[in-house]
Amino acid sequence: MDGSKIIDKRIGVLMGGLSTERDVSLKTGEAVFETLKDAGLDVVLIDVDRDIATRLKEERIELAFIALHGQYGEDGAIQGLLELMGTPYTGSGILGNALSLNKIVAKELLRYHDIMTPDFCVVKRDEFFNSRGFSSHLDLPFVVKPVSQGSTIGISIVKDKADIDSAIRKAFEYEDEIFIERYIDGILIAVGILGDQPLPIIEIHPGKGFYDYRSKYTKGMTEYIVPARLEGEKYLWCQSMALNAHNVLCCKGVSRVDIIVGRDGRPYVLEVNTIPGMTETSLLPMAAKEMGLSFRDLVTKMLEMAVEER
């Protein structure tokens, strides 16, 4: 990428923020900043707090690379602010972020459009703590998840009835609404979307069986296979499903779609990430590299798409 569309722009890399995924965001932001700095672009690193509007004005930011994960970054909040300020930014708009981060809304939309996703039921804090017990139409094992957290924060796989209560209480530490999802035994894959093109699929094999926070961010704990070892038609099916999910949730620019391919051979969309991790070892750059796109080229492409889109 020649970067001609962004060469004269003052770029702000927005990272950190106020969510539970702050630490991951800092790593993403620093990796992106160093790459843009090495490319000779006019770039400034901004740790986002509640004074972000003032900081953007002071730094005269003309183009924003959003490296924020979770609340205020992937929920449409920062995108709304940038829209008001007339500043182009990377990734999806307000609606795409809001729809994708709320996993219940996302799953309902996916099902409406006949995109397979595991069965689920919703649990609200007041209903749970005011009742004498918990009942679900889902059989064990199942997965307990907060509605809007990423990086597997607050998630538990429940295999024993005795563990249900503690798993639900753990998820309620983060949000007032959680959901119970049918556990699908199978192969976890990730499909990156860049523009309107699915990237090579990544097959994920965590060493401890559950792709949790440590498995994601501790080097050597997880094996990644690119491209994924899926037979031809199934490979294309998963790529097509990922692109459909990206479009149904009104995503733009870039996303990462997490899918589990069940033992029955059927793929189920777990979630769509509108702001995937962007370090040298993150999944999206890993997939881009497989198709010959360097980390610098990927970051530059995302900024160029932001200028074109907005």
pTM over 0.85? The answer is yes
Predicted local distance difference test score (pLDDT) of residue 308: 92
Write down the pLDDT at residue 127.
82
- The identity of residue 274, as a single letter, is T
**Paired tokens of 196:** 């309107």
Residue 3 tokens read as 């970067």
188 within 8 A of 154, measured Cβ to Cβ: no
Task: Tell which CATH classification among 3.30.300.30, 1.10.3720.10, 3.40.50.1000, 3.40.50.20 matches the domain 10-90.
Answer: 3.40.50.20
DSSP state of 207: T
Q: What is the pLDDT along the chain (310 residues), one digit of tens a residue?
A: 456 789 899 999 999 999 988 998 999 999 999 999 999 999 999 999 999 999 999 999 999 999 999 999 999 999 999 999 999 999 999 999 999 999 999 999 999 999 999 999 999 888 888 775 566 778 999 999 999 887 678 899 999 999 998 999 999 998 889 999 999 999 999 999 999 999 999 999 987 766 655 656 666 678 999 999 999 999 999 999 999 999 999 999 999 999 999 999 999 999 999 999 998 679 999 999 999 999 999 999 999 999 998 7
- Determine contact, residues 225/248, Cβ cutoff 8 Å: no
Q: What is the pLDDT of residue 31?
A: 95
pLDDT at 280: 64
Domain range annotation of the chain:
10-90, 99-116+185-274, 120-182
Active site residues: 21, 151, 217, 256, 258, 271, 273, 277
**How far is CA 87 from each of CA 84, 124, 310, rounded to the nearest angstrom?**
8, 37, 8
Read off the DSSP letter of residue 239.
Answer: H
Query: Which pLDDT score, from 0 to 100, does residue 210 have?
Result: 66
Task: Give the closest residue to 65 by CA, choosing from 48, 49, 40.
Answer: 48
Which class is 99-116+185-274 in CATH? alpha beta
Q: Which CATH class is domain 120-182?
A: alpha beta
Task: Burial-class residue 176 by CB neighbours within 10 Å (0-12, 13-18, 19+).
Answer: exposed
Q: Residue 282: phi, psi to the nearest 5?
A: -75, 165
Predicted local distance difference test score (pLDDT) of residue 281: 73
Asked if 53 and 2 count as a contact pair (C-beta separation under 8 A), the reply is no
Residue 40 neighbours by CB distance under 10 Å: 9
Q: Which residues pair with 273 in a beta bridge?
A: 256
Model pLDDT, residue 198: 98
In angstroms, what CA-CA distances link 126 with 132, 158, 173, 193, 283?
Answer: 12, 22, 13, 38, 37
